[in-house]
Amino acid sequence: MSARILKGAEFRDQIYAEVRAEIEALRAGGITPGLAAVLVGEDPASQIYVRNKIAACEQLGIFSAQFTPPASSTTEDLLALVAELNSRDDIDGILVQVPLPPQVDTKRVLEMVSPEKDVDGFHPVSLGRLVTGRPGLVACTPAGCMEILRRSGIRAEGANAVVMGRSDIVGKPMALLLMHANATVTICHSKTRNLPEVVKRADIVVAAMGRPWMVQAEWIRAGATVIDVGTNRIGSAKEAERLFVQHPERLDAFRKKGFAVLGDVHPGAAEAAGAVTPVPGGVGLLTIAMLMSNTVKAARLRREAGRAAGTPAAAGAVRS
């Protein structure tokens, strides 16, 4: 029996409906959530990502402002820009698209973002709030994975969960979210011994290693839920021939397009798993949805904090 396919579009549309309702409530109070996107240089992939995020803002009624400093920008240039955005009351969320040019200290720039506007959830303060279970803004991709589980009726409580990958952006916050949901969590990485055996024991597998088709079908326990975070763009004909040796139809498609996008999990896993997310069309759609959700959440939390403190920010920013 093939696995249930957890299509990202279904969950994205549910989240967007909820976000629209919250935006309408904020606008009734004279507040329009605002997102600033900083895109440095002209990296084609980054341009696509930012374009998709701006389009989502327009679709939902979130004010957006895009800033495009040149690729020659220095760390100090970007620190100054972020500081300016921190001070703007019409901006509730700040997105700094990575990767940044090699001469830029990425960590310094990301840490300059005010935690209250850190809609990517990358700031150490955001991570600290997640560790301690305090309310805050959570990294979008892990938050999206949890929404997939919750909205699919897949219980994390009591489950054995394996998170493959230990990045600050996905792996670590994903493990923390699962622990807060009362799962028993194992974090795996490139140095984990007997990796297939560890994965085989999992009720929930979250694959975020960044290696195309690394997780083989025989690694997956019958009935397990597989959340594939990997989005690996393959452009090498040699690599495509190696990966698609038993999938001639995929090799033909690769040759026509010149590239292929693969997850971390081999599609054969769907034969054993109880539920899987597709790539593309799975977790990636939830990442943008949670960015929108975080922007609206930041707008609400900032105004609530302003009212509590009696500051002018409580009035919000009114736009026509």
Q: Could you list the active site residues? A: 53, 97, 120
Helical H segments across 88-170, by residue range:
106-112, 124-131, 140-151
Would you mind telling me the total number of residues written for the chain in this entry?
A: 320
**What residue type is assigned to position 206 of the chain?**
V
- Examine residue 280 and say whether the peptide bond preceding it is cis (omega within 30 degrees of 0): yes
Are 187 and 204 spatial neighbours (Cβ–Cβ below 8 Å)?
no
Q: d(Cα 229, Cα 221) in Å, to the nearest integer?
A: 18
Burial of 52 (0-12, 13-18, 19+ CB in 10 A): middle
Nearest Cα to Cα of residue 90 among 305, 296, 307, 317: 317
- How far is CA 277 from each of CA 185, 245, 269, 302, rounded to the nearest angstrom? 20, 23, 11, 34
Phi–psi pair at 11, nearest 5 degrees = -75, -35
Q: d(Cα 5, Cα 276) in Å, to the nearest integer?
A: 5
**What residue type is assigned to position 156 of the chain?**
A
Q: At what angle do helices 140-151 and 171-180 cross, to 10 degrees?
A: 40
Q: d(Cα 68, Cα 252) in Å, to the nearest integer?
A: 38
